[in-house]
Amino acid sequence: MPKEKWALAFDEGFRYGAMTTNVSECFNGVLKGARSLPITAMVKYTWFKLNTYFDDRRNKSIAQLKLGKRWCKYALDIFMRNKAKAEHHRVTRLSAQQQSYQIDTLHNPGTTGHGDHTHGVNLLQRTCIC
């Protein structure tokens, strides 16, 4: 099976980070109450649901920006976890022109793989040798 079908790193942005059908299942759950409606009523229901959702999200974003927060809690939590994990990595640039790097993971007995790995990454060719 081509790696574009199963690896998010090679999907060229077509899946936008969604690897499962959870997004569509969630949307189906939201519209469950509209399934038996006539098509015009279903379209109106969908429009109002989406409008309410986006209005609520916008208001939350504005409130967070007024508090000086640039990132939502969900995104900030992910960023902080990734930052903590990255502290156990050492990146060495091998070639600026080829955009190739070597990433060494330090020995860490508290992780699944225990570290001590070397990975080759080429950003230009979008390849990783793990």
Q: What is the mean pLDDT of each run of 10 residues along the chain (130 residues)?
A: 74 62 72 82 88 93 90 89 88 93 82 77 89
| Confidence (pLDDT) at 19 | 58
60 and 101 assigned to the same domain = no
The predicted-structure confidence for 110-121, as pLDDT tens digits, reads as follows 666 667 888 899
DSSP designation for 37? S
**CA pair distance 70, 72, nearest whole angstrom:** 7
The predicted-structure confidence for 17-27, as pLDDT tens digits, reads as follows 555 667 677 77
CA dist list (Å): 113 to 22, 36, 55: 29, 51, 44
54 and 109 assigned to the same domain = no
| Confidence (pLDDT) at 101 | 95
Number of domains into which the chain is organized: 2
| Confidence (pLDDT) at 34 | 79
62 and 7 assigned to the same domain = yes
The alpha helices in the chain, defined as continuous H runs, are 3-6, 22-30, 39-66, 73-86
103 and 53 assigned to the same domain = no
| Confidence (pLDDT) at 54 | 92
10 and 64 assigned to the same domain = yes
| Confidence (pLDDT) at 17 | 56
Determine the structural domain holding residue 8 and report its residue range. 3-70
Helices (H) and strands (E) in the chain, counts: 4, 4
β-bridge pairing 127-129 and 89-95: unpaired
